[in-house]
Amino acid sequence: MLELYRNNESGAVLPIILVIVFALTLIGIALLSYSLAETRHVSLDENNLKAHYIARSGAHAIAEKLIVEPEHAAALINSSETDAIDFADGQFKVLVYGNPYDEVHVRSKGFFRNAVQTVNITLKEVGVDFALYAETVEVDGKAARISGGSVVYGESIDMDPVVLDDDQDIFHQPRNFDPVVLPCDDEESFPNYYQNCPTVNLDPYEGEVITVDSLYGDIILSGQLKHMQIEPAAGEDLLLKADKIDLRNNELTVKLNDNSVIIVVDDFRNTGNSRVYVEGDGFLMLYVQNYTGGGNFQLNPDSDVSVNVFVMEGGIFDLAGTPNFKGAIYAPDAAAVLFGNTSVTGWVIADEAEIGGNMRLYYSPIELGAVGLDLTFYRLDKWRYDD
């Protein structure tokens, strides 16, 4: 009987062992399947992550190109999506669309193995809404103040404590600007003067009122010659070209009448008790290699005048304590020196900006007349990620 019980007990254990083995097998299969699925999931996540960063890199590269060289926006918007571009063992394709004078959108698709990710960047066109842009900015003087517009630098900035308004920013954003081109060489902006600058040398200047395009050597106001006047006919532009203009404590008067007066001069000196006085309606466009201030630069308060100063490559625009200057200073390959008891109302674009003393810079939008410079300026507005 005992032997029979043992045999029955052995027979009962065998199915239990088989069940345990089967259960362990199922668990092993399940664990293996889970492990394989997890591996595939991790691999898929890694592929998606890599595809995302490839797409982001493509979008960022195009956005940076547009920020630094916004003149390419219109051409890119009118183009179709790019072909696949190899990058980091994957590829990306980019499409640019939108309005170059409002919002520009950059859509980039990144591909890595079987993963595809999409990234979008929106750039906002802001134009010249800053008081100062310079590749290098140096501010020395706690009394200096900048109001109404941000300070943007392309390469470096060294600012001693300077007073800024609460709504202003100081930020880094490289930007390439068009070089200064003289009217005689600018077919697009000045078709009437292109290769047709005045060639009749009226030197020496003897104090007559300048009413037509003229060419001089040095114009120096001294002795009996204490006043210089430029007054073209209504609606007629005038171009004065000279090697040097030195007011020497005397006065230059410019009378506008719905037109433009363009002065092209290597060396312009408005120092001491000198005065430039502008009245009427129109544009005074001053092209200089070097400008030295210190004297007055005044606009008739009843006039509608825009003053544009263009500083040629390697030149210097030095206000040297000029009490009040209202206008745009465009010197992308030159230096702007704003020191002393000086105020500027307008905006400044320069390669090097040196600011100090009791200087005041107040932002105001200033139109650049007939000049076809591209002053489009983009800022990164937002990122968007699509699955």
Based on the fold, state whether residues 161 and 28 are members of the same structural domain.
no
* 46-91 residue pLDDT tens: 888 888 888 888 888 888 888 888 888 888 888 899 899 898 889 8
- The CATH number of whichever domain residue 81 belongs to comes to 3.30.1300
- In a domain, residue 41? The reply is yes
- Number of domains the chain contains: 2
SS (H, E, C) 130-165: EEEEEEEEEEECCCCEEECCEEEEEEEEEECCCEEC
Structure tokens, 240: 């004065």
* 154-208 residue pLDDT tens: 999 987 666 566 666 788 888 889 999 999 999 989 999 998 888 777 778 888 8
Domain interval for residue 50: 2-125
Based on the fold, state whether residues 236 and 296 are members of the same structural domain.
yes
Q: Name the pairing type of β-strands 85-87 and 90-98.
A: antiparallel
Q: Are 291 and 307 in contact (CB under 8 A)?
A: no
At 33 the pLDDT is 54
Predicted structure pTM score: 0.81
229's CB contacts (< 8 A; 6+ apart) are 209, 210, 252, 253, 254, 255
| Alpha-carbon Rg for the chain in angstroms | 35
* 258-268 residue pLDDT tens: 999 999 999 99
Q: Of the residues 63, 90, 125, which one is the last residue of a structural domain?
A: 125
The mean pLDDT of 219-228, rounded to a whole number, is 92
Return the beta strands (E) in 233-274 as ranges: 238-246, 251-269
Based on the fold, state whether residues 259 and 227 are members of the same structural domain.
yes
The mean pLDDT of 246-260, rounded to a whole number, is 96
- In a domain, residue 385? The reply is no
The answer to whether residue 2 scores a pLDDT higher than 60 is no
Across all residues in the chain, what is the average pLDDT? 86
Q: Name the pairing type of β-strands 145-147 and 163-164.
A: parallel
Based on the fold, state whether residues 118 and 136 are members of the same structural domain.
no
Residues recorded for the chain? 387
